[in-house]
Chains A and B, each alone.
Chain A
């Protein structure tokens, strides 16, 4: 399978929701020192739903395209729905199998997003954010 499908390249070249968000409800910065990938996720949350999602950072096409698509995907979703997302959700969203070596790149955005959710004070501490 071609990892660099048209949609991946397109999201990498013209990312959606990229940039710094003013006054987010939650945000988290993470990086992958092995790759040199760098990722910040910003969320606006209202009524247990994600109303806005943005990302900023740099890295490989897989990590950047994944962040671009994920920030589209989670808009309007409830925190519980996002908490349920896992690596499989990312693979089906990307439409490619990144393979074991690139899975970390593909899931960096979701890992960072989940950390942002965990840091969100109003999140119920009932383990509804499933670890990746």
Chain B
């Protein structure tokens, strides 16, 4: 596989030639949000500047163009994750909203007192709290698949929890803290055998690795556009068509109905049934442009680049005394997303992050919206995290390694 041309890619991202605190910006917080190429930025201003109009309404040229571009973006995303068609792609604000939509719509209709809902101990709050709230409201039981060695899902625990025949199992495809990539296909098959509906949280996988929702076989898949070169405020929920047909819309109003009389109404067809009111048209169109960009580079080549950077970072940081890296230790193709969470012995992650900031390096410090995982399982008050994307370089990893030296010097370690 031909390597990606990182130099040429970096030219496409205006922010990467800026400076932070007087140093060239090294952006290593991609698990939080990705940067945007000029193509995506232009797609937004082009929509507003040239063909801004509401969709599905106007019988005039620019309204038709806006409608066509918005629908086309769904087809692009559907192809990228191998959905059956664009009817299976519902636009939301982000993965969080996608998961909430399922918990509130499907959950409301299907979860009864005493039912089991299954998630895992490595979930982001977005795939935990909606299920906690649903379980509390319905008197259902929320179970967790335990983590074992290296914080991987423990298969014995999975079997045990599935034997309780949960109504739904929701799990992350790739952990935003550990970088663990779960075998979504095998887990889905097992969960289906136990009679569970399956939702996969793809917020950390869809931007970084080839996703095949029909290959995985999951019923639902959530993703965020802003983590995959798209703008904020646009995300998606994939759902199998027959499931989405049975689900009730969460929000109602304009655009999501086929017909309304004073006495009654009829839902619109998929996916519009779930998109009440004027949607984020610019965001949807720009997400389509982001998908084009990822396709142009090639998701397989992006994954290979990130794997190589991750190995390099783990190797270089693993040699630093007093630095502990968390997550899967064996590093293979299916093993780890481009995420390296670490702790510097005796130094709070906020201080680490602050000193990185002074060096122009953006990393994340905190509990990464996975507070139970960080504080109860890993037992650290917080962690520092580097996360990579297609435009990151080994030189940026070198700068991070040098910044850790500076941290240690500052604190006289």
Contacts and interface: CB of A to CB of B under 8 A. Distances in A.
A102 B410 contact: no
22 contacts: A2-B358, A4-B351, A4-B411, A9-B411, A12-B411, A13-B411, A35-B348, A35-B350, A35-B381, A35-B382, A36-B348, A36-B375, A36-B382, A58-B381, A59-B348, A59-B381, A60-B349, A60-B350, A61-B347, A61-B351, A62-B351, A105-B350
A13 B412 contact: yes
A114 to B, nearest CB: 22
Interface in A13-69: 13, 33-38, 58-62
B297 to A, nearest CB: 33
A38 B382 CA distance: 12
A3 interface: yes
B395 to A, nearest CB: 25
A4 B410 contact: yes
Interface string B50-74: 0000000000000000000000000
A37 B381 contact: yes
A94 B381 CA distance: 24
B366 interface: yes
Contacts of A4: 351, 354-355, 410-411
A35 B355 contact: no
Given A9-B410, A9-B412, A36 B351 contact: no
Interface in B327-361: 347-351, 354-355, 358
Contacts of A13: 411-412
A87 B348 CA distance: 22
B196 interface: no
B371 A60 contact: no
Interface of B: 347-351, 354-355, 358, 366-367, 371, 375, 380-382, 410-412
A105 B365 CA distance: 14
Given A3-B354, A35-B381, A102-B354, A60 B367 contact: no
A46 to B, nearest CB: 35
Q: Most chain-B Cβ atoms within 10 A of its Cβ — which of A3, A12, A36, A38?
A: A36
Contacts of B350: 35, 60, 62, 102, 105
Nearest to A36: B381
Interface string A89-113: 0000000000000100100000000
Contacts of B366: 34-36
Q: Most chain-A Cβ atoms within 10 A of its Cβ — which of B349, B350, B371, B375?
A: B350
Contacts of A58: 381
B224 to A, nearest CB: 21
Contacts of B358: 2-3
B412 A33 contact: no
A36 B354 contact: no
A13 B412 CA distance: 9
Q: Most chain-A Cβ atoms within 10 A of its Cβ — which of B347, B351, B410?
A: B351
B355 A36 contact: no
A35 B351 CA distance: 11
B371 A33 contact: yes
A9 B348 CA distance: 13
B344 to A, nearest CB: 12
